[in-house]
C-alpha cells in the first residue's frame, strides 16, 4: 500500500489515507506537475491478482469515462504501479448520503434537494448507455466547498455498471461471485441475476433510497439473504405514507418507481 510521500507513476504524490473500502483504499494526492489535488483509489493488493476484481476496478474508469456531468464523479486517469492498479479521481470534500440520513429525520424537500441532482447524473449515464446497478446511499456523495458551502451531490462507483455494448455482462464482478449490487436496493430482476437489465433497475434503486430516506427503513428487510430475495421478488412495499406523513402523490411516485414488474416503472 502507498505511504505518505510516495510518488505513484512518477506523477502523484500521496498526501494521506482518506478511507478503505471493499475494493481499495482512497488517498488524497497531489499531481507533481500541476499541483492539482486528486483522490487516488488504490486497489487492495490481495485483489490485484484476481482477474474478476481487476475487471470491476477497471470498469469504473471505463464507465465513468463515458459520462461528463457535474453530478457524476470525474475519473481522470488509470494505471498500474508496484504490482497493483489505481484510479485517479476528482477530489471531493463532504460525506456520503448515508451519514446525513443517520443524523436526523429529513423532510421531503431536504431529501429531494440532493437526490434530484444525483438522478440527473444517473440519467446522463443512461444516455451514454451506462446502467449503474449499485445505487445506494453510500454511492451518493454530498460534496462541500472548502468554505463549507454545499455543492450538488455526486454519484460514485460505477464498478459494477452495465455497458450497452455488452451482450453478456460478467456476472462475477462482485467479490462473492454471486449477483451484482447491494441487496436492499436491488430490483427483482436484478436480484434474480437477469442479463436483460435496463435503466429501470436504477429507477427502482432510487425509489428505495428515497423511501428509506423519508421513512427511516428500507421497504424489504429479512434476517437472511434468501429470505430477502423472496421478499423483494414477491412482496409489496408498505405505502410510505402509512409510516410517516407524506403527500399522497409522493407516496404513489415511490410505489410506482419500486414496481415489482419493470413495465409500470418510470422509463
> Helix, strand, coil: what percent of the chain each, to 5?
35, 20, 40
Q: How far is residue 71's CA from residue 154's CA, in Å, rounded to a whole number?
A: 4
Which of these is catalytic: 74, 134, 157, 241? 134
* Residues contacting 94, CB < 8 A, separation 6+: 141, 142, 143, 144, 150, 151
Cell of 46: 490481495
Closest CA to 138 of 155, 125, 151: 155
Indicate the Cα dihedral angle 78, 81, 83, 87, nearest 10°.
Answer: -30
**Cα-flanking dihedrals φ and ψ of residue 199, to 5°?**
-65, -15
DSSP β-ladder status, 37-43 and 75-81: unpaired
Cell of 34: 500541476
Pair 174, 180: CB distance under 8 Å = yes
Pair 57, 85: CB distance under 8 Å = yes
Helices of type H across 104-224:
108-127, 188-191, 200-215
Q: How far is residue 258's CA from residue 262's CA, in Å, rounded to a whole number?
A: 9
Is 198 catalytic? The answer is no
Active site residues: 134
Amino acid at each position: 500500500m502507498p505511504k505518505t510521500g510516495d510518488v505513484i507513476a512518477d506523477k502523484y504524490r500521496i498526501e494521506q489515507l482518506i478511507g478503505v473500502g471493499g475494493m481499495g483504499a482512497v488517498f488524497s494526492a497531489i499531481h507533481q506537475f500541476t499541483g492539482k489535488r486528486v483522490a487516488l483509489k488504490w486497489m487492495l493488493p490481495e485483489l490485484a491478482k484476481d482477474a474478476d476484481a481487476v475487471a470491476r476496478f477497471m470498469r469504473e474508469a471505463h464507465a465513468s469515462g463515458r459520462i461528463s456531468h457535474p453530478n457524476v464523479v470525474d475519473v481522470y486517469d488509470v494505471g498500474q504501479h508496484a504490482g497493483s492498479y489505481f484510479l485517479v479521481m476528482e477530489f471531493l470534500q463532504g460525506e456520503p448520503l448515508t451519514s446525513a440520513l443517520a443524523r436526523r429525520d429529513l423532510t421531503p424537500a431536504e431529501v429531494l434537494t440532493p437526490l434530484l441532482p444525483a438522478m440527473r447524473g444517473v440519467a446522463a449515464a443512461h444516455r451514454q448507455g451506462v446502467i449503474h446497478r449499485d445505487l445506494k446511499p453510500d454511492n451518493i456523495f454530498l460534496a462541500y466547498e472548502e468554505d463549507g458551502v454545499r455543492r450538488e451531490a455526486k454519484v460514485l462507483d460505477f464498478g459494477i455498471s452495465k455497458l450497452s455494448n455488452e451482450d453478456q455482462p460478467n456476472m462475477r464482478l462482485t467479490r462473492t461471485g454471486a449477483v451484482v449490487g447491494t441487496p436492499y436496493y436491488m430490483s427483482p430482476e436484478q436480484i434474480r441475476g437477469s442479463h436483460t437489465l435496463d435503466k429501470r433497475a436504477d429507477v427502482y434503486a432510487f425509489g428505495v433510497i428515497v423511501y428509506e430516506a423519508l421513512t427511516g427503513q428500507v421497504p424489504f428487510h429479512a434476517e437472511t439473504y434468501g429470505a430477502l430475495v423472496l421478499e423483494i421478488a414477491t412482496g409489496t412495499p408498505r405505502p410510505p405514507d402509512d409510516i410517516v406523513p407524506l403527500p399522497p402523490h409522493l407516496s404513489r411516485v415511490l410505489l410506482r418507481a419500486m414496481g415489482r414488474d419493470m413495465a409500470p416503472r418510470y422509463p
